[in-house]
Amino acid sequence: MKPDPLSPTGSLHEPASPPLRDRPPQGLLGASPAFERMVAGIRMLARTDAPALIDGETGSGKELAARAVHYLGERASQPFVPVNCGAIPEALFESELFGHVRGAFTDARGPRTGLVTHAEGGTLFLDEIDTLPAKGQIVLLRFLQDRRYRLLGQSREMVSNARILAASNRCLEDEAAAGRFRSDLLYRLNILRLRVPPLRERSDDVPLLCHHFARTYAGRYGLPCPGFPPQAMARLQGHDWPGNVRELENTVHRMVLQGCDDAPFAAPARVAKGDRQHPESFRHAKARAIASFERNYLCSVLAHTGGNVSAAARLAQTDRRALGRLLKKHGVDCSHYREE
C-alpha cells in the first residue's frame, strides 16, 4: 500500500495510521478547513495526468503540494523533478530542459541529459513559471503542444511521458494582460488549478506546525524544545505571516536556538505618515540580522555545553578555530556559561 503524503505529521492530533516514521518527507501538515480544501484539490489533481497550475504566495508550500500530487498518483514510483525557472539563464533554458549532444554548441564538451528525460514517466515541476523569459516561454509552449522534443544537436525526435505541473506566486492572468506572460502558454498550463492558502487563512494549523518544527530543530541541535505558552501561541496565531509557513518555520528555528518560549518578533508599530523614517538599506538590515543570529546561536550552544568551546564546536559542526573567531567577533565571554 502506497504511503499517504497528506496525513498530518504533528503530535497535537495523533493519527491512528500510518505512524510518523513511515510518512514521506513530502507530507503536508494541517487540519484547518482551508487545509482540508487544499487536500481535496490535491487528491483531485492526483487522479489525473493533465497539466496543472498551482497558485500560492511565497513560502506557502507550493512545491510540497506538487510533491503530494505526484506521490498520490500513479506516477509515484517514478521521478519527481523540480525546476526553478528563475534560476536558469535564458540562453541555457532549452539545453537544460531537453539536453544536448557533444558539440551541439561551443561549450558542449560532452552530452547532457535534459530535465524532461530525467522526469520521464514521472512529474516535471516548473516552479516560478512566471519568471520564464520570452524565448523560454516559446520553447515550453512548443513542447506542451505534442510533448515532442529533440536534444540540441540531434535530429531524432523523442516523445515525453512526463506530467507537467507549474507554480507561480503571481497571478498569471495579470501577467498575461500586462504582456509579460504568453496567453497561449497560460491556456496550455491551466487545465487544472490548485490554490495553496496563505498561513493567515489557516491559523488553526499554527500550533501543529510550531510543535513539528520545534521538535525537528531541537533534535537537530540537541537543544530543548520551546514551551509555547498560551500568550506566545496567541501571538503566533495572530501574526499575518507574509512569508507564510517558511516564515513560521524560521521563527520557530530562532526560538529553539535562542532558548526562548516567546515568539522572537515584534509586530510593526503603526506610525503617522509624517513620523515615518526612511528604512535602512537591505545590506545593513541583512548584516544586522546575521550578526544577531550569530550571537544568539553562540550563546545558545555555549549554554548547552556549559561554556566548553570544543563541545560547542562539535555541536555546531564547525571548526573550533572558526567558532573562536566568531566568539571574539561578537564579544561572547565563555566564562559566563561555566559553572562555578
**Cβ–Cβ < 8 Å for 210, 250:** no
pLDDT band at 278 (very low <50, low <70, confident <90, very high): low
What is the phi-psi region of residue 319: left when phi exceeds 0, alpha when psi lies from -120 to 50, beta otherwise? beta
pLDDT of residue 280: 65
**Are the beta carbons of 160 and 143 closer than 8 angstroms?**
yes
Q: How many residues can be counted in the chain?
A: 340
pLDDT score, position 337: 67
Judge contact between 150 and 158, C-beta under 8 A.
yes
Q: What percent of the chain has pLDDT over 90?
A: 46
Domains in the chain, CATH or no CATH each? 26-197 (3.40.50.300), 203-266+283-337 (1.10.8.60)
CA–CA separation, 267 vs 70, rounded Å? 38
Task: Render 46-100 in DSSP notation, one character per residue.
Answer: HT--S-EEEE--TTS-HHHHHHHHHHHSTTTTS-EEEEEGGGS-GGGHHHHHHEE
The C-alpha cell at 247 is 516564515
Q: What is the mean pLDDT of residues 15-34?
A: 58
Q: Band the pLDDT of 43: cuts 50, 70, 90.
A: very high
- pLDDT at residue 88 in the model: 85
pLDDT at residue 262 is higher than 90: no
pLDDT band at 8 (very low <50, low <70, confident <90, very high): very low
Predicted local distance difference test score (pLDDT) of residue 153: 61
Q: What is the pLDDT of residues 208-230, one digit of tens each?
A: 999 999 999 999 988 888 888 88
Cβ(244)–Cβ(199) below 8 Å:
yes
**Are the CB atoms for 113 and 149 separated by under 8 Å?**
no
Stronger pLDDT, 163 or 146, i.e. the higher one? 163
DSSP designation for 119: T
Cβ contacts of residue 22 below 8 Å, gap of 6+? 3
Q: What is the pLDDT of residue 56?
A: 96
What is the spatial distance between Cα 183 and Cα 193, in angstroms, rounded to a whole number?
Answer: 16
In tens, the pLDDT along 151-204 reads 766 677 888 999 999 999 999 999 999 999 999 999 999 999 999 999 999 999
Q: Kindly report, residue by residue over 74-111, the tens digit of the pLDDT.
A: 999 999 999 999 888 887 888 788 875 554 545 555 56
Q: What is the Cα–Cα distance from 4 to 292, expressed in whole angstroms? A: 40
pLDDT tens-digit profile of 299-327? 777 777 878 888 888 888 888 888 888 88
- What pLDDT is attached to residue 330? 83
Beta strands 99-100 and 112-113, pairing class: antiparallel
The C-alpha cell 509515484 sits at 76
Residues near 86 by Cβ (< 8 Å), separated by ≥ 6?
A: 128, 131
Q: Supply the DSSP symbol for 239.
A: S
Mean pLDDT, rounded, for 272-287: 62
> Tell me: the pLDDT tens digits for 115-125?
999 999 999 99
